[in-house]
Structure 1
Amino acid sequence: MALNVEEEVVRLKEEIQRLGQPQDDGSYKVKFGVLFNDDRCANLFEALVGTLRAAKKRKVVKYDGELLLQGVHDNVEIILLPPTDTAA
Protein backbone atom coordinates (compact mmCIF):
# COMPACT_ATOMS: atom_id res chain seq x y z
CA MET A 1 0.00 0.00 0.00
CA ALA A 2 1.51 3.30 -1.06
CA LEU A 3 1.72 6.13 1.43
CA ASN A 4 0.93 9.67 0.49
CA VAL A 5 3.76 12.19 0.49
CA GLU A 6 2.89 13.71 3.88
CA GLU A 7 2.87 10.26 5.52
CA GLU A 8 6.18 9.39 3.86
CA VAL A 9 7.76 12.61 5.17
CA VAL A 10 6.57 11.75 8.70
CA ARG A 11 8.07 8.25 8.36
CA LEU A 12 11.29 9.75 7.01
CA LYS A 13 11.57 11.96 10.09
CA GLU A 14 11.14 8.90 12.32
CA GLU A 15 13.81 6.96 10.43
CA ILE A 16 16.30 9.84 10.54
CA GLN A 17 15.76 10.06 14.29
CA ARG A 18 16.25 6.29 14.60
CA LEU A 19 19.43 6.14 12.50
CA GLY A 20 20.89 9.62 13.00
CA GLN A 21 22.85 11.39 15.68
CA PRO A 22 21.07 14.06 17.75
CA GLN A 23 22.69 17.49 17.63
CA ASP A 24 22.76 20.21 20.30
CA ASP A 25 20.30 22.39 18.35
CA GLY A 26 17.61 19.67 18.29
CA SER A 27 18.39 18.52 14.75
CA TYR A 28 19.52 15.04 13.71
CA LYS A 29 22.25 14.15 11.21
CA VAL A 30 22.51 10.98 9.16
CA LYS A 31 24.50 10.15 6.06
CA PHE A 32 22.56 9.35 2.89
CA GLY A 33 24.30 5.98 2.58
CA VAL A 34 23.11 4.96 6.05
CA LEU A 35 19.50 5.74 5.12
CA PHE A 36 19.76 4.20 1.66
CA ASN A 37 21.34 0.95 2.87
CA ASP A 38 19.05 0.42 5.87
CA ASP A 39 16.73 -2.57 5.37
CA ARG A 40 13.80 -0.95 7.16
CA CYS A 41 14.07 2.20 5.02
CA ALA A 42 14.35 0.09 1.87
CA ASN A 43 11.05 -1.59 2.77
CA LEU A 44 9.30 1.64 3.82
CA PHE A 45 10.16 3.93 0.94
CA GLU A 46 9.58 3.04 -2.69
CA ALA A 47 11.55 6.12 -3.71
CA LEU A 48 13.75 7.37 -0.86
CA VAL A 49 15.30 10.08 -3.03
CA GLY A 50 11.84 11.38 -3.96
CA THR A 51 10.76 11.42 -0.32
CA LEU A 52 13.94 13.30 0.62
CA ARG A 53 13.27 15.87 -2.11
CA ALA A 54 9.69 16.32 -0.88
CA ALA A 55 10.93 16.75 2.70
CA LYS A 56 13.55 19.27 1.56
CA LYS A 57 10.90 21.25 -0.34
CA ARG A 58 8.84 21.35 2.89
CA LYS A 59 11.93 22.51 4.85
CA VAL A 60 11.88 19.40 7.03
CA VAL A 61 15.39 18.34 6.02
CA LYS A 62 18.37 19.98 4.37
CA TYR A 63 21.29 18.58 2.43
CA ASP A 64 23.69 19.70 -0.26
CA GLY A 65 22.65 19.12 -3.85
CA GLU A 66 19.38 18.28 -5.52
CA LEU A 67 19.59 14.66 -6.62
CA LEU A 68 21.29 12.12 -4.37
CA LEU A 69 22.65 8.95 -5.94
CA GLN A 70 23.55 5.79 -4.06
CA GLY A 71 27.30 5.27 -3.93
CA VAL A 72 28.23 8.72 -5.25
CA HIS A 73 26.51 10.63 -2.43
CA ASP A 74 26.70 8.10 0.44
CA ASN A 75 28.62 10.59 2.62
CA VAL A 76 26.23 13.53 2.11
CA GLU A 77 24.77 14.54 5.46
CA ILE A 78 21.01 14.72 5.70
CA ILE A 79 19.95 17.07 8.48
CA LEU A 80 16.51 16.72 10.04
CA LEU A 81 15.75 20.27 11.09
CA PRO A 82 14.42 20.86 14.61
CA PRO A 83 10.69 21.53 14.82
CA THR A 84 9.67 25.18 14.80
CA ASP A 85 6.86 26.84 16.70
CA THR A 86 5.82 28.76 13.58
CA ALA A 87 4.15 25.75 11.93
CA ALA A 88 0.42 26.37 11.75
Structure 2
Amino acid sequence: MQPGVEELCLVIRNTGRTGDDGRVSVTFGQLFETYVTISNKVVGILLRARKHGLVRFEGEMLWQGKDDDVVITLLE
Protein backbone atom coordinates (compact mmCIF):
# COMPACT_ATOMS: atom_id res chain seq x y z
CA MET A 1 0.00 0.00 0.00
CA GLN A 2 1.26 3.49 -0.80
CA PRO A 3 2.38 5.56 2.23
CA GLY A 4 -0.12 8.41 1.69
CA VAL A 5 -3.01 5.97 1.34
CA GLU A 6 -1.99 4.11 4.49
CA GLU A 7 -1.79 7.36 6.45
CA LEU A 8 -5.18 8.48 5.09
CA CYS A 9 -6.82 5.23 6.25
CA LEU A 10 -5.30 5.75 9.70
CA VAL A 11 -6.68 9.30 9.87
CA ILE A 12 -10.15 8.03 8.88
CA ARG A 13 -9.94 5.27 11.49
CA ASN A 14 -8.91 7.78 14.19
CA THR A 15 -11.38 10.56 13.37
CA GLY A 16 -14.40 8.68 12.05
CA ARG A 17 -17.32 6.95 13.71
CA THR A 18 -18.12 3.26 13.64
CA GLY A 19 -21.52 2.56 12.09
CA ASP A 20 -23.98 -0.26 12.72
CA ASP A 21 -22.20 -2.28 10.03
CA GLY A 22 -18.91 -2.04 11.96
CA ARG A 23 -17.30 0.16 9.31
CA VAL A 24 -15.70 3.51 10.13
CA SER A 25 -17.02 6.57 8.28
CA VAL A 26 -16.19 10.27 8.21
CA THR A 27 -17.54 13.18 6.18
CA PHE A 28 -15.29 14.71 3.54
CA GLY A 29 -15.45 18.07 5.35
CA GLN A 30 -14.23 16.57 8.60
CA LEU A 31 -11.54 14.56 6.82
CA PHE A 32 -10.40 17.56 4.79
CA GLU A 33 -10.05 19.75 7.89
CA THR A 34 -8.12 17.04 9.74
CA TYR A 35 -5.97 15.79 6.90
CA VAL A 36 -5.13 19.06 5.14
CA THR A 37 -2.65 19.79 7.92
CA ILE A 38 -0.86 16.58 6.91
CA SER A 39 -1.17 16.83 3.13
CA ASN A 40 -2.80 19.15 0.61
CA LYS A 41 -3.19 16.13 -1.70
CA VAL A 42 -6.11 14.62 0.24
CA VAL A 43 -8.42 14.28 -2.79
CA GLY A 44 -5.80 12.51 -4.92
CA ILE A 45 -4.98 10.15 -2.08
CA LEU A 46 -8.70 9.45 -1.54
CA LEU A 47 -9.07 8.55 -5.22
CA ARG A 48 -6.08 6.18 -4.99
CA ALA A 49 -7.50 4.61 -1.83
CA ARG A 50 -10.83 4.03 -3.59
CA LYS A 51 -9.05 2.52 -6.59
CA HIS A 52 -7.43 0.03 -4.20
CA GLY A 53 -10.80 -0.80 -2.61
CA LEU A 54 -9.95 0.72 0.75
CA VAL A 55 -12.62 3.44 0.92
CA ARG A 56 -16.05 4.12 -0.56
CA PHE A 57 -17.77 7.43 -1.33
CA GLU A 58 -20.30 8.79 -3.81
CA GLY A 59 -19.21 10.83 -6.82
CA GLU A 60 -16.22 10.91 -9.10
CA MET A 61 -14.45 13.87 -7.47
CA LEU A 62 -14.77 15.66 -4.14
CA TRP A 63 -14.61 19.44 -3.76
CA GLN A 64 -14.03 21.35 -0.54
CA GLY A 65 -17.18 23.21 0.49
CA LYS A 66 -19.48 21.58 -2.08
CA ASP A 67 -18.92 17.98 -0.91
CA ASP A 68 -18.28 18.51 2.81
CA ASP A 69 -21.24 16.24 3.74
CA VAL A 70 -20.20 13.32 1.51
CA VAL A 71 -19.56 10.27 3.70
CA ILE A 72 -16.29 8.40 3.21
CA THR A 73 -16.35 4.85 4.53
CA LEU A 74 -13.27 2.81 5.34
CA LEU A 75 -13.70 -0.67 3.84
CA GLU A 76 -10.78 -2.38 5.49
Q: TM-score, normalised by structure 2?
A: 0.91
Count of matched residue positions in the alignment of Structure 1 and Structure 2: 76
Q: Does 1:26 align with 2:22?
A: yes
Structure 2 residue 60 is the aligned partner of structure 1 residue 62:
no
- Distance (Å, rounded) in 2 between the aligned partners of 1:28 and 1:65: 19
Q: Matches of 1:24 and 1:11 in 2, distance apart?
A: 24
Moved over 3 A (4+): none
Q: TM-score, normalised by structure 1?
A: 0.79
The percent of aligned pairs where both chains have the same amino acid is 37
Point out where structure 2 has 5 or more consecutive residues left out of the alignment.
Answer: none
- Residues 12-51 of structure 1: pairs in structure 2 closer than 5 A: 12-38=8-34, 41-51=35-45
Higher CA-based Rg: 1
Q: CA deviation at 1:22?
A: 1.3
Unaligned runs of 5+ in 1: 84-88
SS of 1:30's equivalent? strand
The Cα shift of 1:58 comes to 0.3
CA distance in 2, matches of 1:42, 1:29: 18
Which residue identity is paired with 1:9? V
Structure 1 partner of 2:69: 75
TM-aligned CA deviation for residue 44 of structure 1:
1.8
How far, CA to CA, are the matches of 2:62 and 2:43 in structure 1?
6
